[in-house]
Copies of this chain bind each other. A is one copy, B any other.
Amino acid sequence: MSGTPGARRGRGRPPASERAEGPGARERILEAARSEFAERGYDKTSVRGIAKAAGVDAALVHHYFGTKDEVFAAAVEVSFEPALIIPAVLGAGPEGIGERLARYFIGVWENPATRAPLLAIIRSALTHEAAAKVLRGFVLRRLLERVAADLAVPDPKFRAELAASHMIGIAILRYVIQVEPLASADPEEIVAMVAPTLQRYLTEA
């Protein structure tokens, strides 16, 4: 599990700087990492910069998370946390699953607070292999496997990835490239068109 988000969490006795910073330091570091990666991009973000933004010593960031890649992985995990409830969305049964999932995805993207870190992650993954590797590991091993586990179709991971690809593509055209009329379309118009697609991928053999 090396390289897994949180793998270094709590390893050994905390350094003096942690004891000085108090128990909220880990959360502050994660929050700072999310902002730094979102604002500066993968390349220009450093462990030192994250530490400074969090008001802690760089040694503490290393203690909790390890390398820059591992801090990135932890920040990805935090950003995708809302997506981890997807299995619950799926778990409500096959009927209407496409619509529930489409509405859920659009909701995450419509909310600027959840959109910004997701965009930052996609941007980083598209431009840096290290970031792509983290996203691949996370998306593949955790999110999509959990989604696929609930599906009663052949090739459930393939199906889950096709559904994810559509939602990612919509997010890119709507929120990043901002092509019209997609960029200004009512979210419910998008849900209405996309729901049958997701329904088919996730439930029809």
A169 near B: Cβ within 8 Å?
A: yes
User: Roughly how many angstroms separate A55 CA and B162 CA in the complex, as a whole number?
Assistant: 44
**In-complex Cβ contact of A181 among B125, B155, B190 (8 A):** B155
Question: Are A164 and B173 neighbours in the complex by a CB distance under 8 Å?
Answer: yes
Contact segment of A1-9, A71-79, A85-93, A194-202 = A194-202
Taking CB atoms, residues of chain B closer than 8 Å to A193 are: 158-159, 162, 201
User: Roughly how many angstroms separate A159 CA and B194 CA in the complex, as a whole number?
Assistant: 10
Give, as a whole number of angstroms, the nearest-CB distance from A122 to chain B. 7
User: Roughly how many angstroms separate A173 CA and B105 CA in the complex, as a whole number?
Assistant: 17
Question: Are B170 and A158 neighbours in the complex by a CB distance under 8 Å?
Answer: no
Taking CB atoms, residues of chain B closer than 8 Å to A152 are: none
A149 near B: Cβ within 8 Å?
A: no
Contact segment of A46-54, A59-67, A136-144 = A136-144
A100 near B: Cβ within 8 Å?
A: no
Q: Quickly give the copy total for this chain.
A: 2
Taking CB atoms, residues of chain B closer than 8 Å to A157 are: 180-181
Question: Are B132 and A176 neighbours in the complex by a CB distance under 8 Å?
Answer: yes
Give, as a whole number of angstroms, the nearest-CB distance from A101 to chain B. 14
Taking CB atoms, residues of chain B closer than 8 Å to A172 are: 122, 126, 165, 168-169, 172
12 A–B contacts, CB within 8 A, in A order: A125-B176, A144-B179, A157-B180, A162-B182, A165-B166, A165-B170, A165-B174, A165-B182, A167-B169, A193-B201, A196-B200, A197-B197
Q: A41-B127, A162-B190, A165-B172 are in contact. List 13 more A-B contacts (CB 8 A).
A: A125-B176, A126-B172, A132-B177, A136-B178, A139-B177, A158-B182, A158-B185, A161-B173, A162-B170, A165-B182, A167-B169, A168-B172, A169-B170
